[in-house]
Amino acid sequence: MKKHLKLLLIAAMMLPFVITMNSCQKDLEEEDQIPDEINSSDDMVIADDFDWKTTEILLINILTQDNYGNSIPSARIEIYRDYDEFEDSGDLLLTGMTNSSGVFNVMFPIEFTAEELFVVTRYIGLPTLTIADLSNGQLNLTIGGNGAKSAPADDDDFFLKELPDGYSFLCEYGHQGVPLCLVEPGDIVDFELLRDLDAALPERASVPIHNPHYLAEGNQTEIQLLEEADVYITFVHEGAAHRNSLGFYTYDINNPPASREDIDEIIIAFPNFSYMNSGGGLFSGDKLHLGTFPEGTGIGWVLIANGFAASSVNTTRVHFFSNPAFNPESDPELRQHTVLLYDAVRQLHVIGFEDLNREHGGCDHDFNDALFYVTSNPVEAIDKMSIPLVDPNLIDTDGDGIPDVMDDYPDDPNLAFDNYFPGRNRVGGLAFEDLWPEKGDYDFNDLVLSYNINQITNADNLVAEIRATYTIEAIGAGFKNGFGFQLDVPPSVVADVIGLNHTGNIISLNANNTESGQSKAVIIPFDNTYNLFDGIGSGFVNTQPYMDYVEPESITVRIILDPPQTAQAIGMPPYNPFLIVNQDRGREVHLPGYPPTDLVNTAYFGTGDDDTDPSIGKYYKSATNLPWGMHLPERFDYPMEKEDIVVAHLVFPQWAQSSGFSFMDWYKDKPGYRNPNKIYNRPNNNNNNN
């Protein structure tokens, strides 16, 4: 189980973490003055080069390595806007696998106001969670690696806190719970071992479902010595949110304890079984000598869930034992908390713990919350009977090279990973004025859309399918407008488009349902907004407070790409969206700075209030640089009918006049940011991200 308390992996395990962003971006912590009231958008003075953007392109480059410094390929990477490690869930943005060089790189649009991202790594031997503070337009991150290890205690303090009777510490330890008696040098936990362990006990893969033979009746769960031996344990991985404590106890195998009360003493080996920079101070390969034990000794294991607190071990916390009979579950089938596996290649006895009560709904039963291995000298001293082997084979139903447990589409060889913009749990906003080339009333509610885009990638992290859902929130116009968007790839790479709503005759389609006559792939989800609403053929929808509220209608289109494309080749979501004015196909309204499609009627350029000049790359701006379309990274709380946006969103003028350096979050509901009497109030409008 994962959670949000023990992390803050800014440097990501051993190597540097660097993030860079536009140096001109304003520090949002500075105190801004709410500007003097501006009553008309015509009063604003806008710079020629202001692009009106609320997002920037983030360059993401993540490298995964073992502690030799060798690359780890096929590590699943997930990036979240927010993430709850307790629940192992959050607002997912990106997913993919590191390539053969151990690299995951991608470009992604992110709102200027984003301050941090959460990087989750699903791979044994690598820290699960890294919190990345955003300060620039790049995210360069190395997870794992052979960077220099800190001393077990990075200050002069060490501890040996008093424990109640029946408990003791193996040795003194530092303030993060790292034992001072670590064997030096520790073990090298290389890529080959991590690969096999990741296949044997992968993140989020329920052992009862995927490897039930690990839990078969009669399997050993504890170490038994056939002769006198030195016994060692080596930290490999923790996939837990808790700061767990790991201990052991010994007994005569001919007279084992019949209950937990029969255990004479629990010795705490790792007071805090947690990664460096993830709530603890351990690195894969950290090793302890437990002692020299005689023939006939049994060694049992104890995990004290979330036991490390205040530089000591809280022995009142729940204990989970390697002996299932000692565990608290009422269902005997759920009492086993460890799996013991044998790696015959390396002669290792691998032990994985589950750190939540297995009757708890949040338990994932993956048995890798604490993962370590046991070795002995002599190596043959440990009994190997009735111990299943480390099984490096995982089921891959669709044969795409991604195991089912890591594949978002395990039955489809063409699809593997979900990638959402602006996020799995969010929508973005598009708002248009439809009187172009005339300025109009500037309430930006003639067409208001919310959208969510999922770029589904394949096993090679290439986009194989786009699923875009658009919701019509408002129609503040008498026109019968359509909506489309343009990708940066030619129509020939689109195999099919599914889900279009066309009722008129203004759109001509190719056989693959892209628009014909275009050099780039143009998708027209609907040609008339009103056709998505039953019983509404004209008039205003959700812009007049005295009119009945109409439940928004949605449409989802699927664009299947063949061959799959890089995200960069397609263009960044929401791509190049545009409004088609009142069934006039050539009258396109795009976002400011975005070029039109091949079917635009250029006769509109430079007429009315429009100042488009393709020769200098100026598109869809007025002579005073005002736009006719806006994109937001969340749902737009738009003005009521005939209310200029500047009287509804009060800091919008300062944002625009500062070329985006002030009030980057102008669209949010913050004190002083808006006049609620000028904004359309949706029923149950409690969260403008959903």
Residue/partner pairs of 512-518 with CB below 8 Å, 24 or more apart: 515/484, 515/597, 515/599, 517/598, 517/599, 518/486, 518/491, 518/597, 518/598, 518/599
294 burial (CB, 10 Å; 0-12 / 13-18 / 19+) is: exposed
For 617, other C-beta atoms within 10 Å of its C-beta total 9
Total residues found in the chain within this entry: 690
Q: Please state the φ and ψ torsions of residue 259, each to the nearest 5 degrees.
A: -150, 170
Pairing of strands 287-293, 312-313: unpaired
pLDDT tens track for 117-156:
999 999 999 988 988 888 777 898 999 886 645 444 444 5
pLDDT at residue 387 greater than cutoff 70: yes
Measured between alpha carbons, how far is 648 from 669 in angstroms, rounded to an integer?
11
* Residue type for position 517: G
Measured between alpha carbons, how far is 283 from 271 in angstroms, rounded to an integer?
14
Question: Which one-letter DSSP state was computed for residue 544?
Answer: -
pLDDT tens track for 206-248:
999 989 999 999 999 999 999 999 999 999 999 888 899 999 9
CATH of domain 17-144: 2.60.40.10
| pLDDT reported for residue 87 | 81
| pLDDT reported for residue 26 | 37
Structure tokens that stand for 242 in this block: 């808790």
Average pLDDT, the chain: 90
Question: Which one-letter DSSP state was computed for residue 32?
Answer: P
| pLDDT reported for residue 86 | 78
- Listing from the earlier edge strand, what are the strands of the sheet with 55-65? 17-20, 138-144, 55-65, 103-111
Place of tokens 């008129």: 504
For 546, other C-beta atoms within 10 Å of its C-beta total 4
Q: pTM to 2 decimals?
A: 0.87
pLDDT tens track for 74-107:
999 999 999 988 788 999 999 999 999 999 999 9
Strand ranges, E, within 162-201: 167-169
| pLDDT reported for residue 137 | 77
51 burial (CB, 10 Å; 0-12 / 13-18 / 19+) is: middle
Check the CA dihedral 308-312-316-322 and report its sign: positive
Q: Nearest Cα to 463, choosing from 565, 569, 573? A: 565
Q: Please state the φ and ψ torsions of residue 529, each to the nearest 5 degrees.
A: -55, -40
Are the C-beta atoms of 43 and 623 separated by less than 8 Å? no
Are the C-beta atoms of 43 and 648 separated by less than 8 Å? no
Question: Residue 356 — pLDDT band, cuts 50, 70, 90?
Answer: very high
- With residue 645 as reference, give the H or E element that holds it: helix 645-648
For 14, 270, 286, 404, 655, the CA distances from 148, given in Å and listed in that order, are 7, 21, 13, 36, 45
Q: Nearest Cα to 247, choosing from 307, 207, 188? A: 307
State the greatest distance between any 2 C-alpha atoms of the chain, in Å, as a whole number.
Answer: 96
Strand ranges, E, within 606-676: 629-632
SS3 content of the chain, % helix, strand, coil (to 5): 10, 35, 60
pLDDT tens track for 11-61:
333 333 333 333 333 333 334 444 466 889 999 999 999 999 999 999 999
Measured between alpha carbons, how far is 293 from 273 in angstroms, rounded to an integer?
24
**What would the DSSP string read from start to end of 545-606?**
TTSPP---EEEEEEEEEEEEE-HHHH-STT-EEEEE-TT-TT-EEE-TT----TT--GGGTT
pLDDT at residue 8 greater than cutoff 60: no
Question: Residue 689 — pLDDT band, cuts 50, 70, 90?
Answer: low
Q: Nearest Cα to 253, choosing from 282, 210, 295? A: 295
**Average pLDDT value for residue range 436-454:** 97
pLDDT tens track for 112-124:
989 899 999 999 9
Measured between alpha carbons, how far is 507 from 514 in angstroms, rounded to an integer?
10
| pLDDT reported for residue 690 | 57
| pLDDT reported for residue 21 | 36
3-state secondary structure of 397: coil
| pLDDT reported for residue 685 | 62
Locate the domains of the chain by residue range.
17-144, 167-381, 420-643
Question: Residue 553 — pLDDT band, cuts 50, 70, 90?
Answer: very high
| pLDDT reported for residue 156 | 53
Measured between alpha carbons, how far is 194 from 332 in angstroms, rounded to an integer?
32
Are the C-beta atoms of 138 and 59 separated by less than 8 Å? yes
Question: Which one-letter DSSP state was computed for residue 515?
Answer: B
Q: Please state the φ and ψ torsions of residue 654, each to the nearest 5 degrees.
A: -70, -35
- With residue 197 as reference, give the H or E element that holds it: helix 191-200
| pLDDT reported for residue 23 | 33
Question: Which one-letter DSSP state was computed for residue 225?
Answer: B
Measured between alpha carbons, how far is 474 from 477 in angstroms, rounded to an integer?
9
467 Cβ partners below 8 Å, 6+ apart?
453, 454, 456, 556, 557, 558
3-state secondary structure of 672: coil
172 Cβ partners below 8 Å, 6+ apart?
158, 159, 160, 179, 180, 181
pLDDT at residue 281 greater than cutoff 70: yes
* Omega before residue 403 within 30° of 0, cis: no
459 Cβ partners below 8 Å, 6+ apart?
97, 400, 401, 402, 416
pLDDT tens track for 639-685:
999 999 999 999 999 999 999 999 999 999 999 999 999 999 988 66
Half-sphere exposure of 594 (CA within 13 A, CB side): 27
3-state secondary structure of 194: helix
pLDDT at residue 3 greater than cutoff 70: no
Q: Nearest Cα to 498, choosing from 556, 421, 576? A: 556
Structure tokens that stand for 503 in this block: 């009722």
Are the C-beta atoms of 398 and 407 separated by less than 8 Å? yes
Q: Nearest Cα to 246, choosing from 200, 199, 282? A: 282
| pLDDT reported for residue 152 | 45
Q: Which residue has the higher pLDDT, 159 or 532?
A: 532
| pLDDT reported for residue 418 | 98
Are the C-beta atoms of 302 and 266 separated by less than 8 Å? yes
